[in-house]
Amino acid sequence: MTRQEVADEPGLAVIRLPRMPAAQRAILEAAVVQSLAGGVAQARGVPIEEFVFHADDIKVAPVRAEDA
């Protein structure tokens, strides 16, 4: 996403957003990214709500008050 001029390149899609206040632009950028994520999920055959990556190596046991 850009307001800048970008040369055409193979495999590149440029999304130009209109000039607007930062808060509104952030919402528009989020909508574009959500749409892109939905398209990728559909292309991969994964439901958009599906949890794709499970990282059990980052989980730690809860700390109990008496152990702290």
CA distance 41 to 29: 18
DSSP string, 9-26: -TT----B-----HHHHH
Does the predicted model carry a pTM greater than 0.75?
Answer: no
Residue 15: per-residue pLDDT: 86
SS3 38: helix
Q: Over the stretch 5-59, which tens digit does the pLDDT of each residue have? A: 888 889 888 888 888 999 999 999 999 999 998 998 899 888 887 776 766 676 6
Q: How far is CA 1 from CA 11, 24, 37, in A?
A: 15, 14, 15
Residue 68: per-residue pLDDT: 63
Quick one: DSSP state of residue 17? -
Residue 65: per-residue pLDDT: 76
Residue 23: per-residue pLDDT: 94
What residue spans define the domains of the chain?
Answer: 1-68
